[in-house]
Structure 1
Amino acid sequence: MNWCTPFGSHWIVTDPEALGAYLQSEGVTLRRTIDDEEVGYDIPPLYKHPFEVEWCEDDAATDRELQLRLAQKVLRGDFYQRGTAARELDMLVRRETGVAKARSVAAYVRTLVEAGEPVLLGGWHRDVYAIWQRVLGDLNPVWYTGTESQAQKLRAKRDVIEGRSDLIVMSLRSGAGLDGLQKRVAHVVIGEFDWSPQVHRQFIGRAWRDGQTREVTGHFLHVDGGSDPVILPTLGLKSSQSHGILNPYAGHAEATPVNETRMKQLAERIVGREA
């Protein structure tokens, strides 16, 4: 391909602006943003606020020996072992990270809610949700994750819009097409991370959309441990790749160079920690 280079089993875009321009000129893509006159949206700004929270070792109890064995397989195993170990390690460490910062995330959310700000809180793991329920239960949170019925989800949405609850907890990949939260919510807290920046953008879009009258803040809560230090720069990399393709005339000359795969970085961090 003219604008890509092979990297392991994947392709990396080396010239995203050129690829984006070609796709638009050929009519393959049609780009519309909230700033386009044709869209007709008039939405206040979005601010992104990264904030480091504390790691709770008591909550993060995990099998460190298993992590180390998986990390070593990612770095030294054969093709099959590397793939299998990488998937297991990803699930294990991201869950540990979410649990380790769950109480700190809850404390941050409580500060916002008690200051009178309705909050949309995003997560992924059930263990994390359980901690949030225990710590934030007195705030009457409502839930919009993967286990509620459609009727329960609609009731949760109404409870927030109509002011019966100031906290809705939602799975990062739930709520596609959900509309109405922007009537009250202007603070979105990302309590666990996804590897894809587009997932975060779409999640924040539950509040940052047509009908919003206030500035929206996306709070990205991270810890100095687990998978967060690896995911954060990877999200920046993915953003730069997609930005060039979707915005080919924005003046960014090249994508962020790739040095390591995400899981190899994570494995190296774990092996170095144990050493």
Structure 2
Amino acid sequence: MKAIQYQNISKKYPGSDVLSVNHVSAEIREGEFITILGSSGCGKTTLLKMTNRLIEPSEGKIILFGEDISTVNPIVVRRRMGYVIQQVGLFPHMTIEQNIGIIPQLEKWDRSKIHDRVTELLNLVDLDPEIYRNRYPSQLSGGQQQRIGLARALVTNPKIMLLDEPFGAIDAITRLNLQNELKRIHQETSRTFLLVTHDINEAFRLGNRVMIMDRGKLLQFDTPQEIVRHPEDPFVETLISSAREQEDFWKDVMK
């Protein structure tokens, strides 16, 4: 089933002469893990934010599970999706359980149901509920806070998860561990994931398909293997070459 359809989507910000997103069309199937790769300013975050109507497109349509989101209340659209950003945005005066359960509380879930769901999600992100549910964000490491942000985004069991460079501010070792956790969570939940990154290794490691963007345009959208074998644009070729140079560097170091 088609989860997301981008139909000739464009975005031009007021006062700008260029399109931040330039006539992008693509289809994403339910259950896929899609990574959106590109350098700063290429339009990847704008595309992600248009998906949950934090930003409105200047042209084109976005269809979620057959429904044009422009016809749906933006708040309803956002509550149907999980959204994780680099700056986790946990409320410092709330416990971890309260942070994760804030949307269910607003939706008037039963208290015991919220408690059980928090327990389930803390286990899913590999944090012991009995240790962490009553802690505050300041008592957690950056990596642990990011796990809580992920749990909070999953709390209402959304069909789509949007992740905007969620590991960009985390050290390399923790980042690798969180990538492994995210792959496991995706496999266990079978949700549709879209993750924005500027790191080619992260994009190719996590995505079963990768969208490569530059200057607002979608240059290539395919599996990592197919992109490596058949790059369709000079920019894509440069990305592949840079990744191979990094590999060669490490091979030389290990000699």
| TM-score range normalised by the length of the shorter chain | 0.3 to 0.5
Give TM-score scaled by structure 2 length.
0.35
Q: Write 1 or 2 for the structure with the bigger share of strand.
A: 2
